[in-house]
């Protein structure tokens, strides 16, 4: 779907379409740019404050662009008892950013998720769509190096 025709398939002035529409905008742009949120408000016929309220309420929506590699760290209970916090800390110190941020070169973003549901291979992280399980802080170091080399 191209950037112009996002709005076409969503009826105007239908508040129930707000979340699906924001999801569509994010799929196309990778995040929610300010001017797109303005357009959404105009299309749905609601104040932009409400669009912003919804966009900041749900974890899925991002107001900043993401890196090339999005690292999602599972922070489910099973991963927690198997040491996912250490994995997260290691990633943060390796990349020099905190969870929720993106590196300056736009290569990596770190996000935490409640549970990926791959508890059998805890602790687990997902880089873009690829799963990496049974991690230790050391294997994370190697993994990140591989991705850094790939660029």
- Min dist CB 65 to other proteins, Å, is 18
Nearer to other proteins, 107 or 115 (CB): 115
Which backbone phi and psi does 20 adopt, to 5 degrees? Answer: -60, -40
Residues that bind other proteins (CB under 8 A): 15-20, 22-23, 44, 53-54, 57-61, 75-78, 80-82, 86, 89-90, 93, 113-122, 124, 131, 133, 137-138, 141
- Min dist CB 1 to other proteins, Å, is 16
Nearer to other proteins, 27 or 105 (CB): 27
Which backbone phi and psi does 111 adopt, to 5 degrees? Answer: -130, 150
Rounded Cα distance between 55 and 75, Å, is: 22
Nearer to other proteins, 9 or 131 (CB): 131
- Min dist CB 101 to other proteins, Å, is 16
* Other Cβ atoms closer than 10 A to 37: 19
Which backbone phi and psi does 65 adopt, to 5 degrees? Answer: -65, 155
Neighbour order of strands in the sheet with 125-127: 108-113, 69-74, 125-127, 130-132
- Min dist CB 33 to other proteins, Å, is 17
* Other Cβ atoms closer than 10 A to 71: 24
């Amino acid at each position: 779907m191209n950037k112009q025709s996002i709005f076409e398939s969503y009826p105007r002035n239908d508040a129930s379409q707000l979340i699906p529409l924001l999801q569509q905008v994010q799929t196309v742009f990778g995040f929610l740019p300010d001017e797109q949120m303005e357009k959404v408000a105009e299309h749905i016929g609601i104040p932009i404050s409400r669009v912003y309220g919804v966009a900041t309420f749900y974890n899925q929506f991002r107001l900043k662009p993401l890196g090339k590699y999005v690292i999602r760290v599972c922070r489910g209970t099973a991963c927690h008892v198997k040491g996912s916090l250490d994995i997260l800390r290691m990633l943060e110190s390796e990349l020099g950013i905190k969870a929720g941020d993106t590196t300056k070169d736009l290569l990596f973003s770190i996000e935490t998720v409640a549970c990926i549901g791959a508890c059998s291979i805890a602790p687990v992280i997902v880089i873009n769509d690829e799963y990496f399980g049974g991690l230790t802080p050391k294997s994370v170091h190697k993994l990140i190096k591989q991705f850094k080399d790939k660029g």
